[in-house]
Amino acid sequence: MRSSGFAHRNGFGASIARWLLVIAAGSAATACGGNKPNDIAGQAANVPPGQMSRLDKAQSGNLLHAGDTARERGDLDAAAANYAAAAAADPTSIEAELRLGSVELARKDESGAHHAYQAAQRLAPKNPEAAFRLGEIALTQGAAKAASDQFTIALESRRDDPKLYNAMGVALALQGQYERAKENYEKGLALTPDYPSLRNNYGLMQLARGDLQGALATFSALIASPGANDRYRLNRALVELALGQTAAALADAPGIDEAALRQTLAIYQTPPQATASADTDNLRNTLTSNSDSERAPLPDKSPLPNVHLAVDPSTAPAAAKDTAQASIKPVAGLPPAASP
């Protein structure tokens, strides 16, 4: 049961519920008087079990279609209302939960998305899309181990998705498992060699491991590539600073003083034991500032809070392109550099 909408206790009431859901398909706000989308779902979810058959799979299909139509016209609230109602009308519909999760991400409702993808995973424990999105949400919350567990599930049946290997690489790097992170990044690059987000994260992993020349080459190539953004220069500045090339670092990061750069560089050189107590907010800030993470294709191309997108549409058309400039600031929680 998703929420505490009003209950229908007889056959006539169930019929009214069916019509209310059809009205919701046209205009969720009008049908609900401004209630949250999950309140609409409650109209179906609170029907007594003996009457649930009246809200059948055909009705759920109609609601899914209405949700798709609302999403196409940019009405995310109506889309969420219809997908939630579809899930309530047919509690076995994995597709309803997946679509609800995706539109909740677009509405920047991380909690709602998490709830929907969890419901989808309960229906299909090995569903790769549900696992992928739950892993991404865990990653934005700093729960790197939970994220990698979910990505492992997704990779069981989706081994040709470079976005998955990118996300797994980030999750493993945050746990200090650099060799495994490297393996996943390289698998993703084998699928899509010109993948800027993945190469950026690969470069950060090289920096954390102490492979400074490798990291310098990675970021220099990114800066020379089409669609380069300021984050790549800022990340190269960290490498240059580690190499003792202070003047070059400051040139790559205009407006950022040397002390701030050194504080950020120190994060990558933190001993392993110091990262064990890193708090969630710091991990999230770290991802915001430097790493690139993917999201599902969303109507408004919006990322979850604290996660930037940095994807070249020509190599990853399902994701949005990041144009935001990273903000270098002292935070804690990045994985430490590996011992030489």
Domains annotated for the chain, with CATH where assigned, are 11-120 (1.25.40), 133-289 (1.25.40.10)
User: Residue 169 has what pLDDT?
Assistant: 96
Q: Which residues contact 334 (CB under 8 A, 6 or more apart)?
A: 174, 208, 267, 268, 270, 275, 286, 290
pLDDT in tens, 302-320: 222 222 223 222 223 232 2
Helix segments in 243-326, DSSP class H:
246-252, 258-268, 280-289
Q: Report the SS3 class of residue 80.
A: helix
State the pLDDT at residue 333.
Answer: 32
Backbone angles phi, psi at 185, to 5 degrees: -60, -45
In the chain, at which residue ranges do the beta strands (DSSP E only) sit? none
Check residue 2 and give its pLDDT.
52
Candidates 62, 59, 25; CA nearest to 40 is 25
Residue appearing with tokens 């790559």: 252
**What residues contact residue 9 under an 8 Å CB cut-off, 6+ apart?**
48
To 5 degrees, how large is the angle CA 284–CA 287–CA 291?
170
pLDDT at 54: 53
pTM for the model stands at 0.68
Q: What is the Cα–Cα distance from 305 to 307, expressed in whole angstroms?
A: 6
Residue 153 and residue 161: Cα distance in Å, rounded? 13
Instruction: Identify the segments of the chain with pLDDT beneath 70.
Output: 1-56, 271-340
Q: What pLDDT, in 10s, does the model give residues 107-139? A: 999 999 999 999 999 999 999 999 999 999 999
Under DSSP, the state recorded for 327 is -
Residue 283: name the closest of 132, 143, 185, 182 by CA. 143
Are 273 and 265 spatial neighbours (Cβ–Cβ below 8 Å)?
no
CA 184/CA 207 separation, integer angstroms: 17
